Amino acid sequence: MLGSVEAAGKREIEGSGHVLLPPFVESHIHLDTVLTAGEPAWNESGTLFEGIGLWQRRKQALTSEDVLGRAEQVLRMLMLQGVLFVRTQADISDPKLTALRALLALRERVKPYMYVQVIAFPQDGIRACPDNEQRLEEALQLGADGIGAIPHLEPTREEGVASLEICFRLAQKHGCFVHVFCDEVDDAHSTFLESVAHLAMRSGLRERVTAAHASASAYYGEAYFQKVQGMLARSGVNVVCCPLINSAMQGRFENYPKGRGITRIKELWKAGVNVSIAHDDIQTPFYPFGTGNMLQAAHLAAHLAHMTGREEVAELVRMITVRGAKTLQLEAYGIAVGHPANFIMLEGSDAMDLVRRQPVCRYVVSHGRVVAETQPAVSRLFVALGESEHS
């Protein structure tokens, strides 16, 4: 617990030249799909639809050991990067709920030093795959922290809205989180974001609701976007942007000028909407890259959202810390007297320096214990600029 201490500790860490932050928050990741890029084949088109097809094939071979091994490896990777709070999706389009059960077990295993929320995610839809409604119910009975929907992949708009109504009804019944994959398409006519905001207000779930991706909002006409933005602000719905994967995956079917499907981060933030930034995928059929460094996601968001002012960059760091914590509804998060001693230290001077260089965490502390440490790289230059070849 954080507070004043007079006695010397067993170990003292020199903090000069470092930035002290609360731990990073990964508010949207798929731990069940991590480290499967290239299995059974590479996503050569880079599209969401080829990724879904590849995952459909790969998940036929899922076992609990398979999911646990890969997910635990990535959690270790995230911890080294200063992430101690994670919201993961678990695909429940599987009668045995293999991935969900494995991630629920992993959640308990890492609880002493890492906090994980598990969201039951119906990758194949709810109306398009009717069995998924019962699986969502079963997932909540097994202990899932929340449930989701993917309305833009349902057969029609009407079916998409119906899938959201099912999701919100179950969430009201169980008092859980709602985390919707919303409008992850390059289509101005995909308007489920307004439905999510409306249902959040109608159900009273409000801040317990999150809309992830919201890519289509990049293509909305301004008058309509202003309406949706106002609904989001009034509803309390959180928005999660995934700049790494969406900038790579969106716009694949467009001619130039190509849209990149990044939700309107700056505009939503300035309107009072809680926006967080997430990594989303780490070496999956959907996205072949990823290191778990949250500052990489913030760095790309700075470019795509035109957020390069000093206060804007500081806000980007808040989007991977305190705003992510608000999305997960974390209690006692942050560096304050009486809070658990959870914090990270990174070499740098301020938020601008961190986003510019994206350093790995020097120290990661969970409940007062150093759980990860990275020695800084040492670089040496053996010539002086302007020095002759024979000097």
CA distance 334 to 325: 9
What contacts 94, CB < 8 A, 6 or more positions away?
59, 62
Partners of 372 in beta bridges: 364
Distance of alpha carbon 27 from its chain centroid, rounded?
A: 4
Q: Enter the DSSP assignment of 208.
A: G
Looking up tokens 């699986």 gives 135
Question: In whole angstroms, how far apart are CA 185 and each of 45, 98, 251, 253?
Answer: 15, 28, 9, 10
Active site residue 184: yes
Q: Where are the alpha helices (DSSP H) in the chain?
A: 48-58, 64-80, 98-109, 131-142, 157-174, 192-203, 222-235, 243-249, 265-270, 294-304, 310-319, 322-327, 351-357
CA distance 346 to 348: 6
Q: Enter the DSSP assignment of 305.
A: T
Mapping DSSP to helix (H, G, I), strand (E, B) and coil, where does residue 348 land?
coil
**How many residues appear in the chain?**
391
| Catalytic site residue from 50, 154, 184, 315 | 184
CB 269 within 8 A of CB 239: no
CB 115 within 8 A of CB 85: yes
| Segment (H or E) for 88 | strand 83-91
CA distance 52 to 381: 47
Give me the DSSP letters along 117-130: EEEEE-TT-SSSST
Dihedral sign for Cα atoms in the order 230, 210, 80, 4: positive
Residues with active-site annotation: 184
